[in-house]
Amino acid sequence: MIHLENVSVEYPNGVRALKDVSISIYKGEFIFLVGSTGSGKSTFLSLLYRGMLPTQGKVVVDGEDITSLKPSAVPYLRRKLGIVFQDFKLLPQKNVWENMAFALRVIGTDPREIRRRIGDVLELVGLTHRCDSFPHQMSGGEQQRAAIARALINHPTLLIADEPTGNLDPATSWEIMQLLEQINVRGTTVLVATHDSQIVDRMKKRVIQLEAGVVVRDVNKGMYEHCEA
Ligand code: ADP
Ligand code: MG
């Protein structure tokens, strides 16, 4: 699903955010990308949706070397991906339904299909009763559910989440992670950047750890930082 080959990223200011990273992620996996602030997690994720290009190396997503994509092809890549951020990024003047419908109308989806898909994703994330609500009328957890629903609307093969629980309390964070796990069980590959060690320890998934732009650990059924039993 994802293959990074000798990938380095250097920002214009000279910061080397990723250093010779090589890693493979397979279809159907649930993966935590962990590491302290500034270790390169967001940079790693950004490469996958062509938020940026690597300074060196190859980035393959769903069988395609996306470093050579023409800019005009980038929207097609993003349609295969669902992306979720810490700050939800819902459109504040639109209600939940309109936040979902917006992206589908842009690509000319049939109105009946729009209704069907929105109904499905809202049910999946447990927000059917909130379809008329505006972001500011909802709790953080509900807003993140809405953002996840929107990310799923195109049936992505890969869901990328950058610190999705960063603004949420522990109980709500756990609910959101269980939702992401449920989405994974239904067949979507899920990649979550987080520094929430309690959640990572509890979920026992593959853990890829970055430190200063280098992959320092890659373990199955991992814990955040402790030794493996
Ligand atoms: P994380 O998500 O793990 O906190 P980032 O990928 O955001 O890490 O950052 C990795 C490193 O790159 C940090 O040193 C950060 O300061 C630097 N960095 C991130 N974005 C930029 C940018 N747009 N310009 C310059 N440096 C950046
Ligand atoms: Mg980050």
Rg (CA), the chain: 17
Using CA positions, which residue lies closest to atom 7 of ligand 1? 42
What integer pLDDT is reported at residue 228 of this predicted model?
Answer: 45
Average pLDDT, the chain: 95
- All residues with CB under 5 Å from ion ligand 2: 41-42
Ligand that comes closest to the CA of residue 33: 1
Task: Say if residue 64's pLDDT is above 80.
Answer: yes
CA distances from 88 to 69, 92, 161 (A): 27, 10, 10
Q: Which atom of ligand 1 is nearest to the CA of 39?
A: 3
CA distances from 148 to 45, 68, 86, 143, 199 (A): 16, 29, 11, 9, 18
Rounded to the nearest angstrom, the distance between the alpha carbon of 6 and the centre of ligand 1 is 19
Task: Say if residue 227's pLDDT is above 90.
Answer: no
Residues with CB under 6 A from ligand 1: 11, 13, 15, 17, 35, 37-43
How far is 22 from 210, CA to CA, in rounded Å? 12
| Residue of 15, 163, 192, 195 to test ligand 1 pocket, by largest number of atoms within 8 Å of CB | 15
Per-residue pLDDT, averaged over 27-38, amounts to 96
Ligand that comes closest to the CA of residue 39: 1
What integer pLDDT is reported at residue 226 of this predicted model?
Answer: 56
- pLDDT-wise least confident of 29-38, 49-58, 102-111: 102-111
What is the pTM for the complete model shown? 0.94
- 223 — pLDDT class (breaks 50, 70, 90): confident
Quick one: what percent of the chain has pLDDT higher than 90?
93
Q: Which atom of ligand 1 is nearest to the CA of 35?
A: 3
Tokens 């190396």, residue?
57
The residue extents of the domains of the chain are 29-52+78-219
- 222 — pLDDT class (breaks 50, 70, 90): confident
Rounded to the nearest angstrom, the distance between the alpha carbon of 162 and the centre of ligand 2 is 7
Nearest to 41 by CA among 164, 149, 136, 128: 164
What integer pLDDT is reported at residue 106 of this predicted model?
Answer: 87
| Residue of 8, 43, 160, 209 to test ligand 1 pocket, by largest number of atoms within 8 Å of CB | 43
Per-residue pLDDT, averaged over 199-227, amounts to 89
Q: Which architecture does CATH list for 29-52+78-219?
A: 3-Layer(aba) Sandwich (3.40)
Per-residue pLDDT, averaged over 62-77, amounts to 94
Task: Say if residue 229's pLDDT is above 50.
Answer: no
